[in-house]
Amino acid sequence: MAQIQSNEQNSGKGGKHGKVRAKKQSTHIDMTPMVDLAFLLLTFFMLTTTFGKPKTMEINMPVKDPTNQVKNEVNNALTFLLSGDDKIYWYYGELKPETKLTLTDYSTQGLRKLLLDRNKQAVDEIKTLRENALKNKMADSTLKRLEVDVKGKKYALMVLVKTDDKAKYKNVINVLDELNICLVGKYALVDLDMREYDLIKTFQP
Amino acid sequence: MPKVKMPKNSPSLDMTPMVDLAFLLVTFFMLTTQFRPDEPVVVDSPSSISEKILPDKVMLVTIDSTGRVFFNLEGKVMRKKMLGQMGAKYGVTFDEKETNRFALMTTFGMTVQQLKQYIPMDEMERKDFMKKSQGIPYDSLNNQLGDWIRFGRLAEAEISGAAPVDKTKGLRFAIKGDGNANYTAIKRVIEVFQEMKVNRFNLVTTLEQHPNI
């Protein structure tokens, strides 16, 4: 501070005596490189933050209770049997001695078509619900609740997913994902039955 | 005729407000970004349409394509407590320095006995070690994974002040499996969790586009 003042005085005196011109210094600096850098950093941080958190799929397993075995005999359920080499078999209803497996695959034409066909009533109902929700500007939470209601109805499809010892984790995730896409709300991951194991082994297309 | 003066337009414009804003944003992003710590194992998680984001307070069990299991729980105080209890159970003592180093680590996967050698290693040695490691044992004879889960939950409950019964409050459990891992490995990990009365999981997946049906 003091220095600046004395400088001013000096220059004032100088102005009176001689013709010493005060230098006209521009107050503007070229800020372009700084701005470039700032924006570069900005872009970098913006891009890195957005993709930071991984996504997850929530799943609830039934509480394990050794005294109360879960009933696998569900007469209106679709059962998927996952095996190695990305093979997926299914049968409908109860497992009877004459039950035959059908082979399908994880594509849109295979698994998804099957699920959509079997779950048609619930899918249609949810679709109309969604359309109505759009028209009436229904709150998201209300729509969610109504959808859950439909998925829990009696006519909605129920699915059991069973895996043998050769199935891969991605197969299971694929099926669960497909169930979510096809609006199936009732599904469970269950252990494989010995009879089912034999069915896979002796499967002939 | 008066002379028509063309206004002299300066080609430079005042960029100060823009720069101010830019720097404000840079500072904001710099402070809020959390860099992902270097994960010791490469896991290629399968994709799903789920858009739920991994919760903040999470206990993460990673399973690689060969079925090795790794464990991670973040939070320095929690990790210290957890390591202390784990060491006490398996008769391995960790001194102050080792505990502090452990608190700053991320995912690990080896037996408690091996952990003692692993802690003082540097980055390169750790990478080599991880390649040879068998992961955390999780079979019913030597269920160290179960103990890590139990002590991790206890430590979390103690710190967050929840009653021991209400252990699950806040803490979530995530499983990050490699798509090519055998499902039996994941099934066993889920079983270990269920033995600890955990029935709700977050399966880590990568996002794929929702097909309109």
**Cβ contact (<8 Å) for A168 and B53?**
no
pLDDT value for A2: 44
CB-defined contacts A:B, below 8 A? 153
Q: Is the pLDDT of residue B99 over 80?
A: yes
The pLDDT confidence band at residue B162, using thresholds 50, 70 and 90, is low
| Residue A2 C-alpha, separation from nearest chain B C-alpha, in angstroms | 29
Average pLDDT, chain B: 83
Length of chain A: 205
Contacts of B184 in chain A (CB under 8 A): 163, 165
**Cβ contact (<8 Å) for A59 and B177?**
no
pLDDT value for A6: 43
Contacts of A176 in chain B (CB under 8 A): 48, 203
- What's the rounded mean pLDDT across residues B164-189? 80
pLDDT value for A104: 86
Task: Summarize pLDDT for B49-98 with one digit per residue, the tens.
Answer: 888 888 878 888 999 888 899 998 888 888 888 888 888 888 888 888 88
In this complex, the residue of B19, B201, B213 whose CB is nearest that of residue A181 is B213
**Cβ contact (<8 Å) for B54 and A54?**
yes
Q: Is the pLDDT of residue A117 over 70?
A: yes
Residue B39 vs residue B187, higher pLDDT: B187
**Cβ contact (<8 Å) for A59 and B53?**
no
Pairing of strands B58-63, B172-177: parallel
Question: Cβ of B9: how many Cβ atoms within 10 Å?
Answer: 6
Residue A15 vs residue A54, higher pLDDT: A54
pLDDT value for A61: 81
Whether the CB of B54 is below 8 Å from some CB of chain A: the reply is yes
By C-alpha distance, the chain B residue nearest A33 is B19
Query: Helices H, strands E: what count in chain A?
Result: 7, 6
By C-alpha distance, the chain B residue nearest A83 is B183
Which residues touch B212 (CB under 8 Å, ≥6 apart)?
none
pTM: 0.74
Which residues touch A123 (CB under 8 Å, ≥6 apart)?
A116, A182, A183, B213
Whether the CB of B63 is below 8 Å from some CB of chain A: the reply is yes
Q: Is the pLDDT of residue A17 over 50?
A: yes
Tokens of B23: 């720097």
What is the widest separation between alpha-carbon atoms in chain A? 119
pLDDT value for A14: 44
**Cβ contact (<8 Å) for B52 and A171?**
no
Which residues touch A165 (CB under 8 Å, ≥6 apart)?
B182, B184
Task: Summarize pLDDT for A62-102 with one digit per residue, the tens.
Answer: 776 655 555 555 667 888 888 888 888 888 887 777 778 88
Tokens of B34: 């959390």
Closest CA to A102 of A89, A112, A92: A89
**Cβ contact (<8 Å) for A41 and B210?**
no
Contacts of B174 in chain A (CB under 8 A): 56
Average pLDDT, chain A: 78
Sequence spans of domains, chain B:
47-207
Beta-strand (E) ranges in chain A? 55-60, 77-83, 87-92, 102-104, 158-163, 186-190
* Least trusted range by pLDDT, from A9-13, A81-85, A158-162, B201-205: A9-13
pLDDT value for A8: 43
Question: Cβ of B187: how many Cβ atoms within 10 Å?
Answer: 17
By C-alpha distance, the chain B residue nearest A120 is B213
**Cβ contact (<8 Å) for B29 and A49?**
yes
pLDDT value for B38: 66
Task: Summarize pLDDT for B117-128 with one digit per residue, the tens.
Answer: 888 888 888 888
